[in-house]
Amino acid sequence: MGLLTIGAFAKASRLSPKALRLYDELGLLTPARVDPVTGYRLYDPEQLEGARLVRWLRHLGMPLARVQHVCALEAGEAAREVRAYWDRVEADTAARRDLASFLVGHLSGKEPTMPSNPKTPQTPQTPQTPHPLGIRYAALSDAGLVREQNQDTAYAGSRLLAVADGYGSAGAPASAAAVDALKRLETDGVPTGDLLNLLADAVEEARQAVVEAPGVADEAGTTLTAMLWTGSQLALVHIGDSRGYLLRDGELFQITHDHTVVQSMVDEGRITAAEAESHPQRSLLARALGRGADGTTDVRLHDARRQDRYLLCSDGLSTVVPDDEIHGVLSDVDAPARAVRELVALANGSGGPDNISCVVADVVELRV
């Protein structure tokens, strides 16, 4: 069989002539021959298999740059790359599903459920209690044993709980600016029907505050994990690799997802969780508050239950202290102030290689 015209090849591959011309310009699907007089593109029938692969990958929504990469691989490696891409899509879809659940509940006036992350508990109906609920809390930040400066900021108040972990030459003012921008939530009213907009505005103010903080350059920024107490629920805002945990009915759940390059590699199936623990780039952030950074935050709403205990912490705790030891302190130590001291002591007992910040908050009945 001779060469196919662009029209015949388009029909056989189910790619439009316009798409074929684009893929030629990108070097993704180069014609076998171009007529020197007319400039007409001609294709070899053996190129059909590659063209169909391009079409299928585009139907998956894969970006052209990654399509080009996959098409250059051997079949087995290409299959692994497609699996990694789809794992990433499913992880992103799960995050958007959480936000959609939040929005449905918010707009319908119903309490949204917590996300279906396997590390996160499903929230049953909050049992009715004879007394209103409140929180008791404590915060502590420590420089650790290696770093000369503490770039973390930890805060706990009657409505706001927050941990921010600054990075770069001006990490300390960056983390302080982010938390300070949220402190107005302590005094402002929290209208239930406007909670989502309130959080979005507060996070944007925090991002702007970080960018404008004195001495903050392009390489500086901060993580932020914060919770806002509304009287019956805790609204969570999260970006970066600081973490949120929930101790409920004796079981510890991580309720945030790390926004790091290495965690993305785990999500895509490129490396295992065990390999991630010792990966040299495990602290490289994929999202953060800072100039030029991806500032997309995760937002969730958690129904409060009496005797729930929440922990917010910087990675100075979570990367050096195993979850079972964190669980032990949160389970055995009653007072939040003592709990944060013991968690910091555990991190320093493991070498204290980074700044350590912890906030512990208990949901309790208010006696009136």
pTM above 0.75, yes or no: no
For residues 268 and 262, give the distance between their C-alpha atoms in angstroms, rounded to a whole number. Answer: 10
Q: How far apart are CA 185 and CA 206, in angstroms?
A: 12
Determine the pLDDT at residue 38.
87
Question: How far apart, in whole angstroms, are the C-alpha atoms of residue 223 and residue 244?
Answer: 12
Count of residues in the chain: 368
Taking CA atoms, 23 is separated from 303, 315, 339, in Å, by 50, 44, 59
Q: Whole-angstrom Cα distance, residue 23 to residue 221?
A: 39
Q: Which pLDDT value is given to residue 339? A: 98
pLDDT at 234: 87
Tens place of pLDDT per residue across the chain (368 aa) = 689 999 999 999 989 999 999 899 888 899 999 989 888 999 999 999 999 999 999 888 888 888 888 988 998 888 888 888 887 787 777 666 766 766 676 666 654 444 434 344 444 344 445 678 999 999 999 999 999 999 999 999 999 999 999 999 899 999 999 999 999 888 766 655 567 678 878 889 999 999 998 888 778 999 999 999 988 888 899 999 999 999 999 999 999 999 998 888 887 777 788 888 888 888 899 999 998 888 989 888 888 899 999 999 999 999 999 999 999 999 999 999 999 999 999 999 999 999 999 999 999 998 76
Residue 285 per-residue DSSP state: B
Residue showing tokens 């799960």: 94
Q: Which residues pair with 137 in a beta bridge?
A: 361
CA atoms of 130 and 367, how far apart (whole Å): 9
Residues whose CB falls within 8 Å of the CB of residue 5, separated by 6 or more in sequence, listed in order: 40, 41, 42, 43
| Cβ–Cβ under 8 Å, residues 47 and 90 | no
| pLDDT at residue 108 in the model | 67
Candidates 251, 203, 263; CA nearest to 227 is: 203
